[in-house]
């Protein structure tokens, strides 16, 4: 019993939290390569609607996804706070457009609970769980799933 508690207690992970349509989300900091300001992108004809375009990241061409469109949320305004989170999953880079990036936060595994039914406005497929942080709730996203879906494979 005691041993089990020790094993779970130490599972603390760092997350980058960001806002999307007034809700707070978090992604594993280990997947995040960098965060840049929004800049104008080059559109790719005939690409899925959630692919906003490509950007020049120090000489590399990196596709950028609009997370709002990806999750079926209403389109948002691009303003000073808009950021692109560049994630790197298995060597593949992808930019994710978010409304704003708020902070880097430590979350213990005992703060995380599975997704309650009807708990979030986006598809459960992309969600790892919900985290309670004091009085707020944060949706933890599964970056691999967001990047590896069928629509993307066709890109």
Partner 1 sequence: MEFDPNQYIELFYQDSEEHLEQMNEALLALEQNPGNSEPLQAIFRAAHTMKSSSAMVGFMHISEFTHTMEDVLAKMRDEKAPITGDVITTLFDSFDLLKEMLSNLGDQESEAHKNRVKQQSTELITRLHSVAAIRPPEIAETPTAKVPRIRLDETRRNRIEEYRLAGHRIYEVDVLFEDNIPMAATRAFLICNNMRSLGDILVCEPDVEQDENAVVEKGFSFILATDSSESDVRNGCSVGQVQNVITRDITQAEQFEWPDESEKKSTEQAPESVSPVQVKPPTAEAEKSPSTSFERREDRVRTQTVRVDIAKLDRLLDLAGELVINRGRAMELGQQLAARRGNTGEEGFLLDSLVQQGMIITQLQEAIMESRMVPVGQVFQRFHRVVRDLSHGREKEVDLVLEGEETEIDKKIIDVIGDPLTHMIRNSVDHGIESPAERIASGKPVQGKLTLAASHEGNNITITVRDDGKGLDLKRIKQKAVERGLYTEEAINQLPDREVLQIIFQPGFSTAQVVSDISGRGVGMDVVRRTIDELGGSIDIETEPGKGTAFTIRLPLTLAIIQALLVEAGSEMFALPIANVTETLRITSNEIFTVEGRGEVIRLREGVVPILRLDRVLETPVRRETNSRIYIAVVQHGNQHVGLVVDRMVNEQEIVIKSLGAHEQHSGYIAGASILGDGSVILILDVAALIQETLGI
Q: Could you say which DSSP state residue 135 is in?
A: T
Q: Is 69 helix (H, G, I), strand (E, B) or coil?
A: helix
Count, residues in the chain: 155
CA 113, 106, 94 angle in degrees (round to 5)? 85
152 binds partner 1 (CB under 8 A): yes
12 binds partner 1 (CB under 8 A): no
* Sole binder of partner 1 in the list 1, 3, 6, 154 (CB under 8 A): 154
Q: Could you tell me whether strands 136-141 and 23-28 are parallel, antiparallel, or unpaired per DSSP bridges?
A: parallel
94 binds partner 1 (CB under 8 A): yes
Residue 154: CB minimum distance to partner 1, A: 7
Residue with smaller CB distance to partner 1, 10 or 40: 40
- Residue ranges that bind partner 1, judged by CB under 8 A: 40-47, 53-56, 59-63, 92-94, 147, 152-155
């Amino acid at each position: 019993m005691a041993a089990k508690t020790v094993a779970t207690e130490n599972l603390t992970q760092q997350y980058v939290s960001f806002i999307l349509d007034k809700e707070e989300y978090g992604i594993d900091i280990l997947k995040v390569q960098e965060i840049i300001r929004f800049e104008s992108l080059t559109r790719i004809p005939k690409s899925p609607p959630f692919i906003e375009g490509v950007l020049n990241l120090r000489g590399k061409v990196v596709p950028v996804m609009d997370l709002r469109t990806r999750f079926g949320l209403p389109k948002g305004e691009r303003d000073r706070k808009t950021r692109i989170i560049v994630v790197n999953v298995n060597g593949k880079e992808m930019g994710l457009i978010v409304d704003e990036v708020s902070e880097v936060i430590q979350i213990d595994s005992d703060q995380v609970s599975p997704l309650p039914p009807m708990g979030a406005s986006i598809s459960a497929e992309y969600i790892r769980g919900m985290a309670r942080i004091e009085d707020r709730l944060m949706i933890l996203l599964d970056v691999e799933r967001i990047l590896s879906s069928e629509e993307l494979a066709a890109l």
